[in-house]
Amino acid sequence: MGKETMKALRMYAPGDFRYEDVPVPEIDDDEILVKIEGCGICAGDVKTLHGGVRIWGTTPEKRYIEAPVIGGHEFVGRVVKYGKNVVGVKEGDRMVSEQIVPCKECRFCKAGYYSMCQRHYIYGFKQDTQGGFAEYMKFNKQGIHHHVPDGLSLEQAVLIEPLACAMHAVERAKIQHNDVVVISGLGAIGLGMVSVARKMQPKLIIGLDLRQKRMDMAMKCGADMVLNPLEVNVADKIRELTDGYGCDVYIEASGSEKSVLQGMDAIRFCGRYVQFGVFPKAITVDWNDIGDGKEIEIYGAHLAPYCYEPVMKGMIDGSIYTDGLISHSFKMEDWEEAFEVAEKDQDAFKVMLVP
């Protein structure tokens, strides 16, 4: 390659991200080096910049992040080099690697639940799993790698990770054809949930958000109806649409306490509630709604196990809507502006950084 250093965005501490020169990763016989084409900014990356307690912890011992580290887990790249033990890969191949790098030894990995690996290394947060906010990136030997079909654009390839997360959350909801499904929070992942839920052909899909542009996009993704919680009592409206019963499924993708309370109100007896959104702090809910009140089934959704390949297939056949979901693209050197847009721009869906 003739290049020993590269530019990368490294995370040192809350509020202290630096775009700087770092060594190009060295690979061993089992690893892959890719040249990054693009990397999306996750809401988690924005929260990391601002000191999210789930990443930085309350004490050094409780920190998840191993700073300084190169961030970014929504990446796609082209293979430039690979170890002699790597098979099925050649230079120029376009590839992604799943965001979690499982240990393959813990009880969860051995049972097939690799997304809940006890060690829990995710690209962009650990020294052994540096991320995609860089010119080059190393795919860890224990990672789960996928070839990206030639028919996908750069924008679609960058969306594989977030839309795979969306698919897993929808799978957790166990949607049936007669269900009324509510998806609260219509960012890029929430919009992906609408597309995936539409593939299951439920009776009704209702999207909830405060931003008109997101609600408009949800209709393109397959929602039957959109509601703004600032303009209508969502739970009352849902009961009105369901003969007074409430929705069968409520998927929370906003990370808002009000959205949780709204969902608990809107969901029917024996309904299914899926929590995907991440909260900035602990929230308060009347737990009686779950048991004594409605006997609700509560599911969590984390990462995207077994969803990368079907998401790519859905993009290729058009059943997963992606047009316009990458709303902004910035050169990686302009990361500060990009993060600002991702956090505050009312018209932003997913923001991409390009080396």
Q: Where are the domains of the chain?
A: 5-159+322-354, 166-300
- CA dihedral for 138, 56, 64, 49, sign (positive or negative): negative
Instruction: Quote the pLDDT of residue 2.
Output: 52
Instruction: Quote the pLDDT of residue 3.
Output: 63
Instruction: Quote the pLDDT of residue 280.
Output: 83
DSSP-derived 3-state class of residue 26:
coil
DSSP-derived 3-state class of residue 334:
helix
Sheet containing strand 69-70, edge to edge, reads 16-23, 5-13, 69-70
Structure tokens at 58: 């309350």
- Residue 140: half-sphere exposure toward Cβ, Cα within 13 Å: 22
Instruction: Write down the pTM of the prediction.
Output: 0.97
Topology match between the domains 5-159+322-354 and 166-300: no
Q: Which residue has the tokens 């056949």?
A: 317
- C-alpha–C-alpha distance, residues 265 and 269, integer Å: 10
Correct CATH for 166-300 of 3.40.50.2000, 3.40.50.300, 3.40.50.150, 3.40.50.720: 3.40.50.720
Q: How many helices (H) and strands (E) does the chain have?
A: 11, 18
- C-alpha–C-alpha distance, residues 100 and 105, integer Å: 14
Instruction: Quote the pLDDT of residue 281.
Output: 87
CB atoms under 10 Å from CB of 238, counted, come to 28
- C-alpha–C-alpha distance, residues 337 and 180, integer Å: 39
Correct CATH for 5-159+322-354 of 2.60.40.10, 3.90.180.10, 3.20.20.70, 3.40.190.10: 3.90.180.10
- Phi/psi at 245 (nearest 5 deg)? -80, -45
Contact status, residue 235 vs residue 262, Cβ threshold 8 Å: yes
Q: Where are the beta strands (DSSP E) in 41-90?
A: 69-70, 74-82
Task: Write out the H or E segment, with its range, that includes residue 288.
Answer: none
- According to DSSP, residue 303 is labeled S
Instruction: Quote the pLDDT of residue 1.
Output: 45
Task: Write out the H or E segment, with its range, that includes residue 159.
Answer: none
- Phi/psi at 187 (nearest 5 deg)? -75, -170
pLDDT per residue, tens digit, the chain (355 aa), is 456 999 999 999 999 999 999 999 999 999 999 999 999 999 999 999 999 999 999 898 999 999 999 999 999 999 999 999 999 999 999 999 999 999 999 999 999 999 999 999 999 999 999 999 999 999 999 999 999 999 999 999 999 999 999 999 999 999 999 999 999 999 999 999 999 999 999 999 999 999 999 999 999 999 999 999 999 999 999 999 999 999 999 999 999 999 999 999 999 999 999 999 999 888 999 999 999 999 999 999 999 999 999 999 999 999 999 999 999 999 999 999 999 999 999 999 999 999 9
Mark out the alpha helices in the chain (DSSP H runs): 43-49, 53-56, 107-110, 154-158, 160-172, 188-199, 212-221, 234-241, 257-266, 308-317, 335-344
Instruction: Quote the pLDDT of residue 99.
Output: 98
